Amino acid sequence: MRVISIPCPHCRHGVHAANSHTMSGMMMEITYMCKNPGCGHIFVAGLEVLRTLSPSAIPNPSVNIQLSKHVRNISAHASGQEG
């Protein structure tokens, strides 16, 4: 599995995920530490579910995730409601 990461916003070196905190079922905050000892930046980034690309086969009725424009267009076309 690939670990989701971004480079340090200051020095662009790699970072290490030091901690994470679940904010909700669709949002997580991750604390990152820069691997460059000369920089030492520690920051928090957010990981959030933004939209659905392929609908779930077992959808949770309490979860409301926006469909991507692509999925909406396919659904509209399939039902004869282009627009």
- pLDDT per residue, tens digit, the chain (83 aa), is 677 789 999 999 999 999 999 999 999 999 999 999 999 999 999 999 999 999 899 999 999 999 998 877 776 767 776 55
pLDDT of residue 5: 85
Return the structure tokens found at 7: 């480079």
What residues pair up with 20 in beta bridges, in sequence order? Answer: 30
pLDDT at 81: 63
Helix (H, G, I), strand (E, B) or coil at 24: strand
Rounded to whole angstroms, how far apart are CA atoms 32 and 47?
A: 12
CA distance 41 to 60: 39
pLDDT score for 15: 97
pLDDT of residue 20: 95
Tokens of 33: 């530490």
Predicted model pTM: 0.75
Q: What is the pLDDT of residue 82?
A: 53
